[in-house]
Chain A
């Protein structure tokens, strides 16, 4: 049994109680403490900047060539916060309830409540940094509504909310670099975690420009390295997004929680060919005004504008009349897959559905739609050469967000003392399905408002430790292991590049551990992945040398994916229920809705590494619902 260390007391007092009693580090002592932050997305930048401002000595690492390029930059739609500026009935409790219901009652109450509670401060902080959120003509902040909720609580900066929030955090980070509180290491990739006497004490890092292997020691290590949806190869993630930092920490003892819970986003552009490297996301905000449909007749080959209204099936409006096109992502994706698999898909490969703006343009005018979504329509045109003002967009589901990740307690600490996981890298707040615009929120809240408090509670006992010595034998061992692995990849001298194995793994996971799963499929997937992994170690080809070498970087990430993918299948196989994004074909209602099993599966599955080729070990964290009653999640 895992203890999440949830503070006592009523839900609305837990975080305040925690803060009132947490240990503090005196300002004069903070400069004696070293902290490593891996990742510079919203969670990483915000925590590194905040800790730097407080006076800790921080080192910040990212694999991109600038901290500003971390993949938070690509988030489009918005960030949720319960300011209730619209006077439409929003409150911290309502936001908490929407989030926990959206996650299909598979998240911790206390964490989710804290997320909602801290949301308002984030908007204040971002505005103070100069984030240009959308405003009304009177100059006050504007909101829009997003999937899975019935109030308007989403703040947005055109379709570039992630970019603008990240620039705010990046600029705060650059300010700390300038002041000497943070040392910045771009193009540096973490290849191992160093654990001494059970505590996280440092990392082994590869300088991607020179190939040099470096040791960095610290009193605490923060992993803010994002999600691993790129494991599906075709995904909405950036090409460099990877699961290696958290996976290597997992192999050093950190548990992985609910790794199979992957959000498949309903509105991405469909695959158009074998060469394809990624699937571009079209913001969910488009579903505010766009209507999703397929033809009522199977295989109807007419162009969309020639299909009359009565021959169109607006299947989300039909199946979920009260939420309609704004149904949550898991439901919208599954409904699209259902139509596509049943032969109603559209587009050249029959793998898409329509997202249609004709009614919105008729009612609001093209200018209004352009003002709201102009950049998205422009992006659509660039990629597809189609003008979405005159004909509907083609959209299709794509792997997007990892609800699972490293297991963390209420303090965001993993099962390794001194190792923290923030943002998408942890599992904590979204349950089995994340609501739109909660991802940016969680990353920021973890980094700005939670970790600075909870880490002090740990670091207060580290003041007397003194500098951590990077000559410790644990560093020797970790460095040796990293170097041996790199040399192993070079030595295989097979015929296929890393992408070949990555594509094959992605295909297996989409088919058997994607939008729908079955016991037989998952068992087959485990066998397939093991075979693929064994082929990888016989037939991988890495050209070039140990210096700057993109193929060598990919090889390490794919090697980790080939282990993580297997764990995802175990996770899905052992959860005999359907909840949120986890849809087991054996557990559904007669009309195809997910059938949750609270009696037997109201717990978090946290997995321990037992060695390659060994089945992982399951630890459970029971979910206790004191303040809400899990209900059937209905959007009908």
Chain B
């Protein structure tokens, strides 16, 4: 395949960026998208051009480190697929591909396609956990959890923290990410004790980090590689309102 690329290049945080054009003449359709970028980088290095910096690690769709905007969509054209699991067979011979970083006020660009997503870690730090020290746990089977409930909690816990939901949202809201953690822990009996404090702290931190509000466009669910449902946002709102009312 012959591929034409337009890639966001930015030297460092805060410096101006620009789109640059590159061409790859022999792309194999079984290559992954990131392997295509590897090949591009090797070509650039041989031409004396600084290679494109991009985030990636496990390359099997679970670590959440990769993620770029591909023709305006986070992680590209395939549904429920991270950038690393996307293969070139999803593109046409001769196609022009625009590659940009995940953009949000809370995700400053560090260099080229790399962004700083530490705001998501700070949301978890604010209360995205169950307070149990090592050694305090009771025998595991004393807490029975019906399989459907455990599975529902799992659906939310499956979030990989890639930030695609933020990148696609017109308000750069982190509501899907935050609500997934709220739901995961609020559904489980182990997490109920702290559910009220948790939702308040998480939502406050989300706001403090500069993420926007959710206006229910549901684009986040469409682009989420893990199929996290927007219904978790409804649950987060319900938990949040409940916590407020009960606190009064």
Contact = CB atoms under 8 A, between A and B. Distances in A.
B89 A385 contact: yes
A164 B129 CA distance: 13
Contacts of A383: 32, 85, 87
B137 A135 contact: no
Contacts of B51: 543-544, 550-551
A158 B31 contact: no
A452 B135 CA distance: 11
Given A132-B188, A163-B62, A277-B34, A139 B12 contact: no
Nearest to B27: A275
Contacts of B55: 65
A280 B61 CA distance: 10
A124 B140 contact: yes
Contacts of A172: 129, 132, 134
A28 B143 CA distance: 34
Interface string B128-160: 111111111111110111110011011001101
A70 B128 CA distance: 18
Given A132-B157, A238-B57, A68 B38 contact: no
A139 B145 contact: yes
Contacts of A184: 121
B58 A544 contact: no
Contacts of B34: 277
A124 B59 contact: no
B158 to A, nearest CB: 7
B28 interface: yes
Interface in B180-210: 184-185, 188, 190-191
A128 B229 CA distance: 25
Given A130-B130, A167-B157, A382-B81, A276 B35 contact: yes
Contact of A548 (B110, B120, B121, B136): B110
B23 interface: no
Between B62, B64, B147, the greatest number of chain A beta carbons within 10 A of the residue's beta carbon is seen for: B62
Task: Find the residue from B131, B141, B184 having the highest chain A CB count within 10 A.
Answer: B141
B129 A175 contact: yes
A83 B45 CA distance: 54
A240 B65 CA distance: 11
Given A130-B184, A130-B190, A178 B140 contact: no
Given A69-B63, A167-B157, A138 B45 contact: no
A452 to B, nearest CB: 7
Contacts of A495: 46
Nearest to B158: A160
Contacts of B140: 83, 123-124, 126-128, 141
Contacts of A627: none
A164 B118 contact: no
Nearest to B42: A497
Contacts of A240: 57
A292 to B, nearest CB: 21
A281 B60 contact: yes
Given A186-B121, A209-B110, A141 B58 contact: no
A209 to B, nearest CB: 6
Nearest to A142: B147
Contacts of A125: 132, 134-135, 137
A46 B134 contact: yes
A125 to B, nearest CB: 5
A267 to B, nearest CB: 13
Contact of A132 (B42, B49, B150): B150
Contacts of A448: 134
Contact of A275 (B31, B60, B118): B31
B132 A133 contact: no
B170 interface: no
Given A135-B147, A277-B38, A551-B45, A74 B191 contact: no
Contacts of A141: 140-141
B128 to A, nearest CB: 6
Given A69-B57, A128-B138, A160-B62, A175 B125 contact: yes
A347 to B, nearest CB: 12
Contact of B150 (A133, A178, A449): A133
A62 B148 CA distance: 36
A273 interface: yes
A65 B65 contact: yes
Nearest to B144: A139
A73 interface: yes
Nearest to B127: A178
Contact of B85 (A128, A136, A272, A382): A382
Given A123-B140, A140-B144, A273 B31 contact: yes
B132 A174 contact: no
B93 interface: no
A504 B189 CA distance: 52
A32 interface: no
Contacts of A74: 58, 60, 62-63
A276 B32 CA distance: 8
B89 A53 contact: no
Interface string A544-575: 10011011000000000000000000000000
Contacts of B28: 273, 275
A588 interface: no
Interface in A412-427: none
A273 B36 CA distance: 12
Interface string B2-22: 000000000010000000000
A497 B59 CA distance: 20
Given A130-B190, A132-B188, A281-B60, A121 B126 contact: no
Given A49-B134, A140-B144, A174 B35 contact: no
A276 B70 CA distance: 21
Interface centre among A50, A127, A162, A177 (most CB of B within 10 A): A127
6 contacts: A66-B65, A128-B190, A130-B184, A140-B141, A543-B45, A550-B51
Given A128-B136, A379-B61, A544-B51, 8 more contacts: A121-B137, A124-B137, A124-B138, A125-B134, A170-B124, A382-B78, A383-B87, A449-B134
The 8 closest A-B pairs by CB, nearest first: A139-B144, A128-B137, A171-B129, A124-B137, A132-B154, A50-B134, A69-B63, A127-B140
